[in-house]
């Protein structure tokens, strides 16, 4: 049975309502009506309970690539993981196919050293794997091996080609594999977020679609979908239905808390920053990982 992992170190997430614990405004779900807009947060947003950067962990096996902002002063990036192993392969779980796991707020210096890959041995499993397998790092003709940023970075135009074009079999891009439970970076302890996109052939976003500032919430790295508030009454009903497709976009995302809760009858793993493995089943998933630091409108533990 394939293994699945919590996306970060739960030991560095404060309890809800305490310290740096997640607030209602940081959780996945509907937000208050403001400025005439109905808003729905599609990311789950977090902060570390200390100055220590929580590790980002691969939820499952797959391939991943990095999206870097054009802002030269940016200190964080995002990682998009396209899974090759699906929750449906676990017999006790009934979940739709996942298209992408998206990690926002990953520290650039945990992956890169200028325009080159960070040095092997920096504590990130993904970096070690790339150094071991990338042709540039094992070429005997290179006296001082260096792996370019191109080993990780998306090569498509942000607003033109769907992200899926980078991952198809005939693509010239060969983004490195990731293994379930491997560390793939370090989060900014002040703000980071995680989102899950479902695999619907009708929804094939570009990088610009996922990272468009219009979708940025008030919290750094949060992602919010907004639509004008139009009451479904009388003459306004036509506008209400014409505008409905903006609201329906949220159906392409799943609450991360609800996703992880679906492992109730199976097993969900987690790791701390030292790589120590913990396994959670049944109510342990809620008690250790979810209701304490990732509230959800859609999940409560069983009695």
pLDDT of residue 170: 47
pLDDT score for 303: 46
- Report the pLDDT averaged over residues 190-211: 87
d(CA 297, CA 96): 19
pLDDT score of 139 more than 70: no
Q: What is the pLDDT of residues 140-199, one digit of tens each?
A: 434 334 555 566 666 656 666 788 877 765 455 567 889 999 999 999 999 999 999 999
Mean per-residue pLDDT over the chain, rounded: 80
Distance (Å, whole) CA 233 – CA 63: 47
Tens-place pLDDT, residues 279-295: 999 888 887 787 666 65
Residue 257: pLDDT over 80: yes
**pLDDT surpassing 60 at residue 238:** yes
Domain residue limits, the chain? 10-255
Among 58-67, 106-115, 148-157, the range scoring the smallest mean pLDDT is: 148-157
């Amino acid at each position: 049975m394939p293994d699945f992992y919590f996306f970060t170190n739960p030991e560095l997430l404060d309890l809800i309502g305490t310290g740096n614990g997640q607030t209602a405004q940081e959780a996945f779900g509907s937000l208050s009506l403001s400025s005439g807009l109905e808003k729905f947060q599609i990311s789950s947003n977090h902060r570390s309970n200390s100055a220590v950067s929580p590790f980002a962990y691969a939820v499952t096996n797959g391939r991943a690539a990095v999206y870097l902002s054009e802002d030269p002063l940016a200190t964080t990036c995002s990682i998009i993981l396209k899974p090759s192993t699906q929750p449906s392969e676990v017999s006790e779980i009934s979940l739709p196919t996942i298209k992408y796991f998206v990690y926002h707020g990953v520290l650039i210096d945990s992956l890169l050293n200028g325009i080159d890959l960070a040095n092997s041995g920096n504590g990130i499993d993904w970096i070690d794997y790339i150094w071991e397998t990338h042709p540039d790092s094992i070429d005997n003709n290179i006296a001082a091996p260096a792996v370019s940023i191109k080993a990780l970075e998306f090569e498509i135009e942000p607003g033109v080609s769907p992200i899926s074009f980078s991952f198809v079999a005939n693509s010239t891009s060969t983004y490195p594999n990731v293994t379930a439970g491997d560390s793939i970076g370090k989060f900014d302890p002040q703000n980071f977020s995680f989102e899950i996109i479902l695999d619907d052939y009708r929804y094939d976003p570009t990088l610009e679609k996922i990272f468009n500032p219009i979708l940025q919430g008030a919290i750094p790295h949060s992602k919010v979908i907004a639509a004008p508030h139009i009451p479904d009454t009388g003459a306004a009903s036509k506008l209400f239905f014409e505008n409905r497709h903006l609201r329906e976009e949220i159906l392409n995302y799943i609450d991360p808390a609800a996703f992880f809760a679906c492992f109730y009858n199976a097993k969900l793993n987690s790791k701390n920053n030292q790589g120590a493995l913990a396994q959670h089943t049944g109510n342990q998933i809620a008690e250790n990982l979810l209701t304490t630091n990732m509230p959800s409108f859609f999940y409560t533990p069983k009695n």
